[in-house]
């Protein structure tokens, strides 16, 4: 595959979305062809699935259903957007990917990392990130801010759930350390951004996009 696939992972409120937009600005300035996308969602069908997932009225949703919906949204995303963009040689930056399901559904919901990985692999068509940037911050510090004025079905699960997800991420990184880089997301946004750009620059050099 000609393109480069970068995913951003971390607890709710770790600042991934802000940084992903800044990465886009950086690529635009360099004249690099890129796509910024997110999960759940990223395609028309995926955004419809996202609405079902985050809807606060769907209190009856079972953990297995939730995991399959995330996996379905991801499968469509790979099929319709991620894989075609990579085949065209673009850089794809995705706000959340497989590790989110492993952490939230595998560990947070207790479905098991391996089982959740298995249902996802069905839809991944062999796509693997070249770089996974983990935004490391304790959700105790961020989840209150996210839920102050409401919050979606998952954000409202409480700090115990989000602590479990955070511990889950650390376990997953230990289990699958390939291509993972950790950034301290408690630092000021400017510093986090500079660290992220350094990681991306070194990947682009390795892939010979830059000299
Ligand atoms: P996200 O879009 O990152 O949240 P926000 O609305 O704050 O931008 O993701 C929505 C929620 O879904 C978030 O709590 C994380 C959760 N999530 C999972 O539980 N599993 C997954 O596979 C993904 C992609 C997200």
- Asked, for residue 112, whether it belongs to a domain, the answer is yes
- Asked, for residue 211, whether it belongs to a domain, the answer is no
Average pLDDT for residues 34-56, to the nearest whole number?
96
* CATH number of the domain to which 191 belongs: 3.40.50.300
CA of 40 to the centre of ligand 1 (A): 6
Average pLDDT for residues 13-37, to the nearest whole number?
95
Residue pair 92/35 in contact by the 8 Å Cβ criterion: yes
Which residues approach ligand 1 with their CB closer than 6 A? Answer: 12, 17, 38-40, 54, 70, 96, 100-101, 104-105, 152, 154-155
Residue with CA nearest ligand 1 atom 11: 154
Residue 58 Cα to chain centre, angstroms: 23
pTM: 0.95
Q: Which residue has the higher pLDDT, 210 or 17?
A: 17
Q: What is the mean pLDDT of the chain?
A: 95
pLDDT of residue 86: 98
Q: Is it the case that residue 211 has pLDDT exceeding 70?
A: no
Q: Is it the case that residue 158 has pLDDT exceeding 90?
A: no
Q: What are phi and psi of 110, to 5 degrees?
A: 75, 20
Residue 40, domain extent: 4-206
- Asked, for residue 11, whether it belongs to a domain, the answer is yes
- Asked, for residue 76, whether it belongs to a domain, the answer is yes
80-86 LR contacts (CB < 8 Å, sep 24+):
80/43, 80/45, 81/35, 81/37, 81/42, 81/43, 82/5, 82/37, 82/42, 82/127, 83/125, 83/127, 85/3, 85/35, 86/1, 86/2, 86/3, 86/4, 86/5, 86/127
d(CA 70, CA 130): 21
Tell me how many domains the chain contains. Answer: 1
pLDDT tens for residues 107-154? 999 999 999 999 999 999 999 999 999 999 998 878 777 777 788 887
d(CA 197, CA 125): 28
Q: The tokens of 56 are what?
A: 């606060």
């Amino acid at each position: 595959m000609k393109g480069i696939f970068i995913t951003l992972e971390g607890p709710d409120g770790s600042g991934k979305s802000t940084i992903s937009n800044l990465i886009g600005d950086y690529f635009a300035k360099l004249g690099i062809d890129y796509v910024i996308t997110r999960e759940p969602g990223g395609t028309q069908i995926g955004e419809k699935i996202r609405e079902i997932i985050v809807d606060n009225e769907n209190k009856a949703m079972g953990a297995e259903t939730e995991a399959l919906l995330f996996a379905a949204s991801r499968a469509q995303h790979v099929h319709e957007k991620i894989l075609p963009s990579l085949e065209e040689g673009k850089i794809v930056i995705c706000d959340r990917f497989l590790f989110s399901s492993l952490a939230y559904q595998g560990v947070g919901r207790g479905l098991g990392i391996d089982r959740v990985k298995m249902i996802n692999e069905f839809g991944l068509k062999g796509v693997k990130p070249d770089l996974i940037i983990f935004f490391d911050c304790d959700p105790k510090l961020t989840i209150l801010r996210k839920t102050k004025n409401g919050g979606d079905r998952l954000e409202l699960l409480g700090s115990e759930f989000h602590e479990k997800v955070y511990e889950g991420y650390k376990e997953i990184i230990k289990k699958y350390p390939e291509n993972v880089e950790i950034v301290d997301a408690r630092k000021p946004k400017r510093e986090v951004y500079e660290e992220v750009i350094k990681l991306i620059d070194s990947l682009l050099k390795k892939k010979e996009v830059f000299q």
